[in-house]
Structure 1
Amino acid sequence: MNHSAQTKPDYERELRRAGVRITRPRRVILDILAATEDHPDAMEIFQRASTIDKSISLSTVYRTMKLLEGMGAIHRHAFEGGPARFEQASGDHHDHLIDLDTGDVIEFHSNRIEELQDEIARELGYEIVHHRLELYGRRRKASARK
């Protein structure tokens, strides 16, 4: 999903509202998160941040991510077989397809899947209040495609 077409989250404002001091390293991390369109893990965020400010520590990245996750500003995903990845909490609902060979995370939305989930929940006497769908796969060989 391309977040550039959506309003960028104002993480700094959210943290200030929660009484958190905004240091230069934290501001760099927040700017990286606001501009990202992928699902980076903490090490990737650290590597991007350290190219801007060498004084940023990995522990600062972890603390900042934990704060933002606790506030509901970001989502933490523990995709099978890899480190926790993060994405902006803003934006429309979507599901994920994880490429097991490359680790790429592909966002998608399917009205058919959403309708089927609602139908199943209704039949079982439930109303869905939250869900997360993760599909894991490998690219098909060109000859295997229909």
Structure 2
Amino acid sequence: MSEQNMELRKAGLKVTLPRVKILSILESNPEAHMSAEDVYRSLIDAGEDVGLATVYRVLTQFESAGLVERHNFDGGHSVFELARGEHHDHMVNVEDGTVIEFSNEQIERLQHEIAEQHGFDLVDHSLVLYVRKK
């Protein structure tokens, strides 16, 4: 059984050809933040016959199952990345849309401290910095 099949089953999803193909595209670009349209174009370029509506539906199913994370960066369009189980934050280059992942323990600690100062426990967060080259 292929790795994609095992991942889909573990996530509680039935193994279908479109799901396997879409998961394969995402796994072949593990650092990428791909829109549904990007995934669709990759499938078309590979000669696959999967419709755009199917790509949207499968990505939403993957998100619900915890296989991918959805981000809404600049302009409100969604991009997806594989859920790797490790927290990281993002910088988005406003000039070309490039997404840079980063982790910083000081920022993480400070966010917890700020939440505590206001009487809260931090349970989750998303940090996106919009940047421009100097």
TM band (smaller chain) = 0.7 to 0.9
CA RMSD of aligned residues (A): 1.6
Deviation, structure 1 residue 19: 4.5
| Mapping 1:82-93, distance limit 5 Å | 82-93=76-87
What residue ranges of structure 2 are gaps of 5+ in the alignment?
A: none
Give me the identity figure in percent: 39
1:35 alignment partner, one of 3, 28, 31? 28
Output the CA distance in 2 between the equivalents of 1:88 and 1:19: 16
How many matched pairs?
A: 130
Is 1:16 aligned to 2:25, yes or no?
A: no
Name 2:122's counterpart in structure 1: 128
1:63 alignment partner, one of 47, 57, 60? 57
Output the CA distance in 2 between the equivalents of 1:109 and 1:133: 10
TM-score calculated relative to the size of structure 1: 0.81
SS at match of 1:81: helix
Residues 33 and 88, structure 1, Cα contact 8 Å, conserved in 2 = yes
Output the CA distance in 1 between the equivalents of 2:85 and 2:65: 16
Output the CA distance in 1 between the equivalents of 2:4 and 2:63: 11
Residue by residue over 1:65-91, the C-alpha shift from the partner in whole angstroms, topping out at 9 and shown as x without a partner, is: 011011111100011215200011114
Residues 118 and 127, structure 1, Cα contact 8 Å, conserved in 2 = yes
SS at match of 1:13: helix
Output the CA distance in 2 between the equivalents of 1:95 and 1:83: 18
SS at match of 1:61: helix
Residues 11 and 73, structure 1, Cα contact 8 Å, conserved in 2 = no
SS at match of 2:75: coil
In our comparison, the structure showing a higher alpha carbon Rg is: 1
Name 2:19's counterpart in structure 1: 26
